[in-house]
Amino acid sequence: MRRSQLVYFAAFIAIVAALFAAPFPDSGRLTKDQTIGQTVEAAINGLNDQGIVSFTFKEADEVYVIPPYVSEAELAVATKLKPKAIVKLAMLATAHENYFIVVHRVDGPPSYTILDGNYGMNSDHIIVYSNKEPIKLTKNDSSHQYRPYRFL
């Protein structure tokens, strides 16, 4: 194998490993009244990864809680995501039939995690959440990506 092929193969293995890792441990229903930052932080604290980092949301950063079967039109109206990310997210929301948490950051690419079947909402509308509280993320050193988010 050539060096470039090895790099692509290593990246593929890292992506597959991230996809099979459980994004969040079991938890209760996520409602609009709950603080999403606290819910995400509690879930991440339940993970056993060692590399914990944190960031603070900037004023323009937003978190979206996306229900299953959301349409591209709904995503375009409710979010600041780019068209390519909207198409991909709408396709994933239909394929997985689970809720998503999507982070839109002004200084980086949008990222998302698929919530497991123990998460849900009392609403089928997109919830937009903005704040400046720090949220902890786990960093996957092999791929230099922050888990539990996967990049769009």
Query: Each residue of 93-136: pLDDT tens digit?
Result: 888 777 777 877 777 777 777 776 655 665 567 777 665 555 55
What CA–CA distance (Å, rounded) separates 135 from 25?
A: 17
Ranges under pLDDT 50 in the chain:
19-33, 47-50, 138, 140, 145-152
> What residues contact 46, with CB distance under 8 A and at least 6 apart?
24, 25
Only one residue has tokens 């922050």, namely 146
The whole-number pLDDT of residue 130 equals 65
The range of the structural domain enclosing residue 45 comes to 3-151
Q: Which residues pair with 65 in a beta bridge?
A: 101, 127
Q: Does the pTM exceed 0.75?
A: no
Structural domains in the chain (count): 1
Q: Among the residues of 21-144, which ranges form H helices?
A: 36-45, 72-78, 83-96
